[in-house]
Structure 1
Amino acid sequence: MLPTPTHPLRYAAGLLVFAAVAFVALIVGAFGFITLFTDTEVIQEPDAGTALGPLMVLAATVLLAVLLFASARSRGGIVLRMPVLRSLVIAVSVYLAFVFSGGLLYGLGAGSLISVLIFAAAHAVDPFALALLPITLAVALSYFGVLVARSHN
């Protein structure tokens, strides 16, 4: 007896869990290698605390999940072509969420608006934030690639 096919949106939601876990795993690995080779910390500000970096990654992961699922949902879970431009937009959005969530959280702790801008500007060009662009692009393209392959079967 053949298995019952799952609804495309249910499949897209299940695949989203794997994409989010892969995203976090790739970030942890990339941040580890960058730290090892550059001998720098992800967050150099000593008054930032230990939770800021993980919260920034959490914000980026949540946005990635929301954007991927919203994109799949708008098509009913059936993706016929690779949305490369949409994947690029998602990558830039996740990068900006990472940078600005860190700035906002740091600014809340510091209590000044200028510290938000200084933190965001300083971390916008560091290798940790820039590493998010290719990682997010790879995860988004992989997610959509699996949905395209499934839609053609």
Structure 2
Amino acid sequence: MTAKIFHPLLAMIASSTNSELAKYVEYLKVENKILRARIPGQIHTKPEERERLLKYGKVIGRAIEELISIVSPATFLRWIRDESEDKPKTKNPKGGQRKPREIRELVIEIAKTTGFGYTRIIGELRKLGIKKISRQTVRNILKEEGIKPGPDRTSDS
């Protein structure tokens, strides 16, 4: 029985609080518009300012589009995308993943002992069951070791 009395009372308190909060938000929006009108051109945010805007703006969800005034909603959404794209990056500065030391040593050994060029070295590696290596990778390994590419193919005639 007391729940029937308190439920409408709590609903009334919650709705009055909501309407007060809506008034606060509306006031802050108008204040922001006045301040933005006084600042000419774009506002460039610093990384720490972006982090703060993201921290408080993401919890608001899509309603941020109505509130945001420092940047466009599209910019804010791009910041969110960029932030989520930044996290899993653990890229090798040289590009792709480096080949294991054993494969690198094998490429160098084949090149030194046989004098083969890139393509024939790849052929020898394939015979050994090593399939995941490209001509460019062989070239890069030999270049890093200072080994000239392939046999001297220039003719004296």
Larger Rg: 2
Q: TM-score, normalised by structure 1?
A: 0.24
Q: Which structure would you say has the larger RCO, counting Cα contacts within 8 Å and 6 or more residues apart? A: 1
Question: Which structure has the highest helix share of the two?
Answer: 1
Q: TM-score, normalised by structure 2?
A: 0.24
